[in-house]
Structure 1
Amino acid sequence: MKSLKFTKIAVLSLLTAVSFTSCSNDDDSVDMNNQNNSSVKVYASNNSDGNITIYDVTNSSSVTSKTLITTSLAADGVYYDSTNDFLLQASRTDLGLEGFNNTKDLVSGSVLSIDIDGPNDMQSPREVAVNGNLIVVADNADVDGISATPDGRLYIYSKNGNSITLRNTIITDFKVWGITFKGNDLYAVVDATNEIAVFTNFLSNTTNTTLSATKRIAIEGLVRTHGITYDSASDVMVLTDIGAASNSQDDGGFHFIENFTAKFNGVSNGGTLAASQQIRVAGSSTLLGNPVDVAYDATSQTVYIAEAGNGGGRILAFNNFASGGNISPIINTTLAAASSVYLSK
């Protein structure tokens, strides 16, 4: 695998040496990314080449992008701390976290060197959620190897300066994928179901242990959720629905839930949040087939989607969806095997 990575870097370095060209807070976890910058950017990772693409979506009618070259061949969860100009993604090649400093002013085609290399101790890293100096990664590998007993892992890492170390590991009694913080509570999708779960005061669990969720509820009208994000200022939760695993092209959607806290609290453990309390966007015009991750900008009321399946992969954006239904995206750009999105303002 390492030799393949070196080949990738050698080829791309040659290409970028010939021609450097540039194409013309979603997660409530962040306490380091609250600057009132004029620009709005979406960071995206993928499972096609492992590079990081940054979209300037300040003007949705004139989106520009640049791609930074990494040593990974595939990657998932991505995160950016604008205060410290620190970029992070979960590598599915090295099975660990890779951090990059001082990326803000790099041009498209720049080859990144890993400045902060976490331990390579995961099996199948997916989404990343950050709270202070703690980084949580959802790993969807089957822990006990028995498909009849769903389980997963949540890896908790500590970042101190240019060092990332594993603090502890939590084994869950359901398969995991997307995760997001709401204050100190961690919300997680219950993969292969239409459920979400919450672990209250999640980071107070400081030892390796097996942990059941504080509460699990089903989302009516949703088939199989993957992406999840929460915005504290607007109290909005957004979930993606990948539909049937056998259909990656046109049966996906997303659910937009306003006044989330009251609605979630109003459903008993094991209960169902009614479809009437949500907005669902789905249908052939949406281009949603396998939407695996989501970010939300409350200011512009725009939902950004990492679509892994339709057309081979896309980054999509939607607004004016108050009535839900089969609507077209306002942004539609190709990104092969898109896997994760993160909003930075």
Structure 2
Amino acid sequence: MKKTILTSAVLSLFMISCSDDTNSSASMENRSASKDFKLFTTSNTTGRVSVTDLNTSTTSSFTVASTDADGAYYFNDSDEFILASRSNNKIELYYDVSEAVAANAASLSYGTSSTSDFNNAREIAVAGDKIVVTQDQNAANGNTNKLLVYQRTATGISLLNSYTVNFKTWGIHLDGNTLYAVADLTSDLVVFENFFANADGAITATKRVTIEGLVRTHGITYANRSNTMVLSDVGSATSDSDGGLIIIKGFTDVLAETPNMGTIAMKKQIRIYGAATSLGNPVDVAYDNFTKTIYVAERLNGGGKLLTFDLPQTNGNYAPTSSRAEAGVSSVYLLRE
């Protein structure tokens, strides 16, 4: 049975970030027995979504209305999942996810969608009742890069704001009112403080910095409690072996000491690169600070893989701790409650 979409006031009490962590003093036993510890993926090619229960290592796969999707988020309080549809140019919402898993259903139940306000979506980020979608430039959208803000209400998903930006969009992450974004085709990280206070139209970043040694940014996630930033590098779009991951510990301190248009040096980074990594086009990342695990949507190597890595302490050519074929995998979202 379809569940009622909760009001934004209730939502704000329950929402957590895919890279934020709660109960950081919990024992490892409690951490491994988290009530909800799930990983979600979308695909650009299969029209399927996967849901993995990380407590049991059980994966379920479902068809959805979108054959090409980028960006994912799960509302644990209402058991609803959203994705950014690149085939339908809408945010699509699916309900009763847990029931679908329990019933071994073939598909997720379609609930509602936003209006069609974007073309060529690349990522979703959520804070409270606000949903942000990135639009990457292409001919169909007039080569316009956008950040669009929607509000999830009791009656649906409504467009609030539409912003144009002067960089090519891909991954984003929200930490409260601060939006972190990558500038595709560059090695740059862009920061918007007080992001939701902007009026419609062109907006300017608070700060932009270059990540030394990074070729082309795509994936981004930030763990507030451990102050850890994780970025992915896809390198050349045609190579399935030149990708990497960059971890920046003490991130906000590193960012604060780096001037606008300055560079975060390689000595401030921990880097995972090399032939053993299986990283070619790592398009999205999620990070669990409790288990110190990085989850990667690797789009090109082997046709698509979900990779996991232990958080390293030093640079290295590390092999993934696990690898699962996931055709066309385009985004990864982690929930831990």
- Pairwise TM-score range, normalised by the shorter structure: 0.7 to 0.9
Letter in 2 for 1:58: N
2:61 aligned counterpart, secondary structure: strand
Post-superposition CA distance 1:168-216 (Å, at most 9, x none) = 10000111100001221101001100000001100111x3210111110
2:218 aligned counterpart, secondary structure: strand
Q: How many residues align?
A: 309
Post-superposition CA distance 1:242-285 (Å, at most 9, x none) = 001231x1000010111000000110000000101110001111
Letter in 2 for 1:72: S
Q: For residues 312 and 134 of structure 1, what CA distance do their matches in structure 2 show?
A: 33
Partner of 2:294: 303
Letter in 1 for 2:315: G
List structure 1 runs of 4+ shifted beyond 3 angstroms.
27-30, 36-39, 142-147
Q: Is residue 154 from structure 1 mapped to residue 150 from structure 2 by the alignment? A: no
Partner of 1:106: 100
Contact 2:74 2:80 in 1 (8 A): yes
1:224 paired residue among 198, 207, 216: 216
Letter in 1 for 2:126: V
1:181 paired residue among 174, 183, 195: 174
| Residues 58 and 324 of structure 1: CA distance in aligned 2, closer, same or farther (over 3 Å) | farther
Partner of 1:84: 78
Post-superposition CA distance 1:88-138 (Å, at most 9, x none) = 111111111001122113134432232121112211011100011110001
Q: CA deviation at 1:39?
A: 4.3
Letter in 2 for 1:233: R
Contact 1:236 1:257 in 2 (8 A): yes
Partner of 2:203: 211
What is the RMSD of the two structures over their aligned residues, measured on CA atoms?
A: 2.1
1:177 aligned counterpart, secondary structure: strand
Letter in 2 for 1:211: I
Q: CA deviation at 1:26?
A: 2.5
Q: CA deviation at 1:50?
A: 2.3
Contact 2:215 2:234 in 1 (8 A): yes
Contact 1:143 1:153 in 2 (8 A): no
Partner of 1:43: 40
1:241 paired residue among 229, 233, 242: 233
Contact 2:229 2:248 in 1 (8 A): yes
Q: For residues 341 and 214 of structure 1, what CA distance do their matches in structure 2 show?
A: 27
Letter in 1 for 2:165: T
Q: CA deviation at 1:142?
A: 4.1
Contact 1:142 1:175 in 2 (8 A): no
| Residues 51 and 191 of structure 1: CA distance in aligned 2, closer, same or farther (over 3 Å) | same
1:18-57 equivalence runs, <5 A? 25-28=17-20, 37-57=34-54
Q: For residues 306 and 337 of structure 1, what CA distance do their matches in structure 2 show?
A: 9
Q: CA deviation at 1:241?
A: 0.2
Contact 1:152 1:174 in 2 (8 A): yes
Q: For residues 58 and 236 of structure 1, what CA distance do their matches in structure 2 show?
A: 24
